[in-house]
Chains A and B, each alone.
Chain A
Amino acid sequence: MDWNLLITQLLNGVQLGLLLFLLAAGLTLIFGIMDFINLSHGSFYMIGAYFCGTIAAKSGSFLLGIIGGMAGVFMVGALVEWLIARKLYRSDHLDHVLVTFGLILIFDTSVHMIWGASGMAIPLPPFLDGQFTLGSLELPLYRLVIIAAGLLVAAFLYVLVSKTRLGMLIRAGASNRVMVEALGVNINRLFLVVFALGAMLAGLAGMLIAPITEASIGMGNDIIIIAFVVVIIGGIGSIKGAFYAALIMGLLDTLSRSYLDDVMKLFMTADYAETAAPALSAMLVYILMAAVLAFRPQGLFPPAGAK
């Protein structure tokens, strides 16, 4: 057993999991509190990356790119809620899906028109670009930065949701929306803030991944499906559930990519194992979701009192 490799892969899995968490946190709140299916949540992930890249290139500072990008995506999120989503909360899920799918096309085409088809490379500042060495363990420093940022956001959300008045309303909204409304809470403002906050977190995830994979059109559409799976496994509306489910998914995906082919070689030819392993590891997350839906349809950590 190569322990260095195992530790590296565990950290890689945690890093992927935390990125998924950033996406899923907003998604689960919007889904849980407003009962709104937002397929275009991945578009916030994409425009976050493009905003950050543009600001970083103009100002020469990656950090400024992140801050400006987050503010920018927050505004776009608020705008989408105010102009479009707000009018749809009372219609059924099919309308949500249709409208937000249309939004995806609009966002993708806008990005194509503004930034072109070729995608955008975002260079890392030199102090983030190095390697972190501990004994014989060597990791890209930036991956650790993503882990740190993800944990920081998780802690921030924990405090926000469990210690503040806004968080109390969010929790109440996730458990029983009608009651919150009946108690005279300004539900419009609450929804606006939650929607924009969710968009901002998705945007942050996009900014963090872009220096690794580049920003590209449709980058959010690839990952949003997995984020939905995270939401379902974690329990709709539950931040805590999204956190654990995202970590489980990240680890499952990374570890299966690393070790599944070796395991499968034990009982089939190397050729088959090499081809089948990546296909199976891509499927594993869905198999897990099916299992959760079969045995615990409300998810692993549903919000208290949710039906």
Chain B
Amino acid sequence: MLAKTIRTALFASALTVSSLAHAESVKIGFITTLTTPAAVIGEDMKNSVELALEHLDHKMGGRDVELIMEDDGFKPDVGKQKADKLVKQDNVDFVAGFIWSHVLLASANSVLKADKFLISANAGPSKIAGKRCHKNFFSTSWQNDQTPMAMGEHLNKQGVQSLYIMAPNYAAGKDMVAGVEKTFNGEVKGKDLTKWGADAQLDFSAELAKARSSGADALFVFYPGKAGGAFIKQYQQAGLRDEMPLYTVFTVDSIGLPKFQQGKLEGVLGSKMTQQWSPDMDNPANQKFVADYLKKHDKYPSFYGAQAYDSIMLIASAVKAVGGKLDDQDAVRAALKAADFASVRGKYTYGNNHMPIQNFYLREVVADADGRWTTKIVDTVYENHQDPYAADCTM
């Protein structure tokens, strides 16, 4: 009897609390990968989102912010379930996050059909940039093809004549390959798409042997997360460094570098990649973000973190612009499209498909003043670059 009374009381109070929260706070759902080895990426994004909220004092446009983190488990079907849960059960105002293109593609409709705003903090599949573009979709990262396109330009500049390509077999892997092939003028001597997902292939012996025997000038790879570390090690163990210089996108960054440094993989120092952001970028927003992140977590944030930080700041700028009144969707959309906030990559604008039009840089792995391995910008490859799929978007 007593237990029942207590239970009823608890239930009632829980109801009041949640309805109060609903009335007052801006609700943001954030989907990323918090289990499986890819959780290192998710943790970096989570840290950055939390840092952004601290910098905002947990307020947007005068309203409190309620953040709901969800784990996609690196699986498209789970991502979709979580997206459904966020829009139906939690009734969030924004769904942000998404590391993986295949997870985003599976989840996008759940969010967009429910008339919510979807902010990708990483994944940029070509379909969502082109034919399936949507008025309520915005990205704080890039379209998948852009970064490898910048790398293709850099390879041309370096006089690389022929290339061997390796990437995982999923939506983003194919976009990355398409991107570098779009701009690279030389010959592609061969390519391998390897198994991806929670049981991804991590032993690249067969592929590296093929790359060696192809006789290509250089090797281009895209291996995000833990596969990147495994790849770099095997590349070094195979002794390919002198024969086939390595060019990467989204493979070498501050998620892997501390581990490489610990494992003394000196071969990664000096390796080059293209990216829209780097921890050494000289603007006040970035300096604050990187310095506070370093202080709090004793390591550099990754580009995933930078984009996640931006996604929260973008939402905050829109909520502020409409004075906290999120009911007026057109006004919120216009405010998001203005991208009127201090992005850690510096100012950027949105194209018709709501993908950023931004600069792409060449980064190099160096040791910082304290001896910590990080990346530094050495060149600007593209200025105000728009992705090639914007033309397919009829918005």
A-to-B contact residues, CB < 8 Å: 2, 4-5, 8-9, 12, 15-16, 117-124, 129-131, 138, 140, 142-143, 209, 211-214, 216-219, 221-222, 225, 254, 257-258, 261, 274-275, 277-279, 282
Contact = CB atoms under 8 A, between A and B. Distances in A.
B237 A275 contact: no
Contact of B193 (A129, A258, A275): A275
A143 B40 CA distance: 28
A221 B200 CA distance: 11
B131 interface: no
Nearest to A132: B239
Contact of A213 (B198, B203, B263, B264): B203
A214 B199 CA distance: 14
Contacts of B200: 222
Given A5-B209, A119-B40, A131-B239, A211 B226 contact: no
A67 to B, nearest CB: 21
B84 interface: no
Contacts of A142: 237
Contacts of A258: 206-207, 209-210
Contact of A16 (B192, B203, B207): B203
Contacts of B230: 212-214
A121 B206 contact: no
A123 B264 contact: yes
B271 interface: no
A217 B239 contact: no
29 contacts: A2-B213, A9-B206, A9-B209, A12-B209, A15-B205, A117-B40, A119-B37, A121-B229, A121-B233, A121-B259, A121-B265, A123-B265, A131-B238, A140-B237, A212-B202, A213-B203, A213-B230, A213-B233, A216-B226, A219-B37, A222-B198, A225-B199, A254-B206, A257-B192, A258-B207, A274-B191, A275-B169, A278-B169, A278-B195
Given A121-B260, A222-B198, A278-B195, A212 B209 contact: no
Nearest to A138: B239
Given A140-B239, A274-B193, A282-B195, A121 B213 contact: no
Given A4-B213, A275-B169, A214 B206 contact: no
B43 interface: yes
B269 interface: no
Q: Which of the listed residues B174, B192, B195, B237 has the most CB atoms from chain A within 10 Å of its own CB?
A: B237
Contact of B198 (A8, A211, A218, A277): A218
